Structure 1
Amino acid sequence: MNSFMTILQLKIRKRQKNKIIFKKVLALPTPFFDAIITIQGVIKEKEMKILIVDDESLTREGLIASVDWAALGIDEIYQADDGLSGLETARENKPDIILCDVRMPRMNGIEMLEQIEGFDPDVTAIFMSGYSDKEYLKAAIQLKAINYIEKPIELGEMQQTLQRAVEQCARQRLLGNKGVTLESEQGAQLAYRFTMPFAAHRDAIEGLLRNFSAVSAKNKFKYITTYIVKLQAIPEDPQILRQIKEALQGYLIPMHLNVIYTEKRVYHIIFHIYGELETTAGTREMIASQIAKLFHGCGAFYISIGDTVSGYQEAYHSYESAVIYLQDSFFFEPCKVLSASVIDGCRDVDQTLLQQKITEAKTMVRESGEEATMQVLDEIAQLLRGRRGMLQNQIKGLYYELFLCLYDARLNRQMVPDMAIENRENIMDIMDQCFSFYQLHQMLVEKTHRYYADIKENSSENPTVAIIREFIAGNYADAALSVKDISDYANLSVSYVCTLFKNETGTTINQYITDFRMRKAKQLLADPRNRVGEVSACVGYNDGNYFAKSFRKFTGLSPSEFREQVVRA
């Protein structure tokens, strides 16, 4: 065991038993309604374990020292300092509860929990984060986290959350001890296992099938077709997916079909639709259309239809084919349904011609006018829309070259940088946000139009003013940046550059520097990964309080309020 992992054996103090009647808690079969269950007694039957995963040792040690673990009935505590170490520790020690940070080095908490659920689907998760990150919060909900706690941690809230987690684990143990499994839970676990090769997971799959058959009559897996829904964003309401599944099941009943579903990699919803009769291609298209209707209002998505297979032993092959078809989704308009017939009907990308056009476009940006450049970009789009034969990352790599060309062209013309593509990291960020090729290409078109518009604007600008703007754009992060530095760079007197800049632009140099820094700060704050203190330093402020005052004066909001507003939007 690594040095950063420790295990603490804790003594359990005597405590009063709280009795809970199952009839009031879970919808169980009649024989169990008479059973009075003691949650604390169940906890005592087997040691309760918790794994704390956080890259900040002070947080881990502080929790271990502050929480009354004995009162909770937790006997063993493990800790790890990042997602990969947490994954290894969970695999070795099978904790009942995982308390983890969202953002960590090497592997974040969301990715870690997704992998842990693959071998321990019953684990109870609690997420912690110092970031108000909407997407991570929704991902935590989708991973069935019992709560999402913001840092700094309030001890009372943590104690209550841990108590709920302990009670949830106890109920799960009771269900297992009595041999009772709820249909939806078993169906979800089985659906998840169907996304794994049968040969390597035979025992687990057949065990889940037995459990599922014990609680559900919907157990005839003679023919199976997998449908995958790839979402751009997780639905706001965590109940939406459950409601969609129930509505889909109702739609399938007249067809004598059933469905089990699971979630994978946060943005992928997998439906396995099955029955005793093989469906026709027309029926499968109808089902996909119905799924599309059910997801209407959930944002952009793609749906892929896997090949129909015979027998649960072949379920993975249906899932695998759906994954393969989904790989080409990037080249189609959002909300497209993809199947073997659609993909087989697509022509491969002419990669030689595409590379020629990419090279031509870069030359046009450097040497030609807007109309000629836009014509070449349109030809590139025609080569890629609805095609196949290239991976999404290959296309993004080519488009990265075009974005970078715009960036370099601005530098060569001594133009003020486009804030969205100010550096290579920003370029990668905006490309990552593009769900489809259509969005990626539209982003490039917009940035190209902006580039040529700025050329026209700058053509009439005083050359000295352009030099001043260029110097500020390259040195705004220097807290010591002054008008004297700028005048020295321009080889002119301070009074002259101040007067010239004010006459030409209508604003003072110092005000322009402040405005430039604030615009940059807004861009950096929009990314939850950047801490407010780090943003302050990045835009030339050594004093965080002074930065906050300046930012509020510029935007009417504090840096934290601005971030919350952006996240909510």
Structure 2
Amino acid sequence: MLKAAVFDDEFIVLRGLERLIDWAEFGIELVGTATDGISALALFREKKPDIVLTDIRMPGMNGLELIEAIRSEAPDTMCIVFSGYNEFEYVKSAIKLGVVDYLEKPVNIEKIREGIGKAVARLAELNDYSSLKRKWHQGLLEKAVANLLGKGEEAAAEWQKQFGDDSGRVAGVTVLVGTEEENVVADGEGHRVVRLASGPERIAVVFHLDSLSDEWSRGLEAWSSAVIGSGRTYPDIADAPKSCMEARRALRYGKFLEGKGWVRFEDLGETDAQSPALSEREEEILFDLRIGDKTGLLEKIDAYLEEFRGAKRTPEAAEVELLRIVMHGLDVAKETGGSLPDMYPADYRPQLEIRDLTTQEEMAAWLRKQMETIMDGILSVRHHSKHAAIEKALRYIGKNYGRDLTQQEVADHVQMNATYFSLLFKEEMDISYIKYLTQVRMEKAKLLLGGEESIQEISEKVGYQHARHFSEVFKKYAGMTPGQFREGRAAR
């Protein structure tokens, strides 16, 4: 609802306007009146009315001075003035100040209604224009951010122009990717968020202002709905494409591991494991290697080889491309803790083998055989090592859950690549590492809540430095706050 105020030194005018105008008819609330200019300005500053009706002649500060002060502080305020018969020079000054209407005294109710109608219509036009302008600017900003994610440094200048004055405050950028419209990360004092849609993906780009605090992620830590992947935070805006690529990888693994919640790229332990030169098809092949899906792997290899056969490559280019896939496949095999001698003889040299092949069909058959052998080796190592490794990991978690315990640290403890460890953990435990750690912490917290320690002390004992964060996670897990849980136990 709009707000209006009336200023006039004649009490009868004020009372008449209060009683004879149906303000609600115009969608307006009359928020106050005043009989002198000083009181009128104070009331304006307190109530911030959208429409002001004022007499020109008032004690303390005349109507023109009042309008000038109001317009300097709030240029979009609609002002209507009342004037006497001999005040034409004042009226001209009021018009120059941008009043929406002027009414000669004695004021007529119908004229006042017309003036109010003009003010309301002008405000509607102004709001429509402002809304259109905001949408137009938002569209330009979104386009600039989309280009930044695709082109990095090349698009930084246009991004800076559209982002505005805050661009000089940006201390870093983090990209999140999901598949649903979720505003789990909202603007805050220390960051701004720009949201984009790219096909089925929903992207949120967090621009950190002044410093790299963790304020933006607090809502994500207790997030339990559709999976959201996040990339690393980079201090250089030009690295936004890297964060975006990482967020997509985290989303993909998150869908496989759990299907919901927040998955950070850092927790995958893949900082250098993947070359950005790999195509989407090649990344899909390596993904199936990691999750141990032999049927899916061979299907993707066959689809890749169909494309390979249809492309016109020199023998040298084909050799390099297939070798690259095999080498990345061997890197994935190393993640399992296995060694090359387990899969190949000590003198195995794939670069020499492929050089002896002369036809495209021979090369295609060679690649399929190599990838199938790598997969068999991965599955064999996984079968023999997973139980012991996970048992060792569970013992380590049980001893160290009370501090910041990353998946990378636990994976290092069992001497595994972090990504491979996360997949193995989910396969063995039927729950992701993060959710298992939270479960251990929450169950321990339940036991501690039966004692006398404060919520803050319990929070720190189970690995949370901030009681507020601990309480949010506990409520998600147990359906009630720690305080409510403690009261429930005491009542038994």
Which of the five TM-score ranges fits, normalised by the shorter chain? under 0.3
Larger C-alpha radius of gyration, 1 or 2?
2
| TM-score, normalised with respect to structure 2 | 0.27
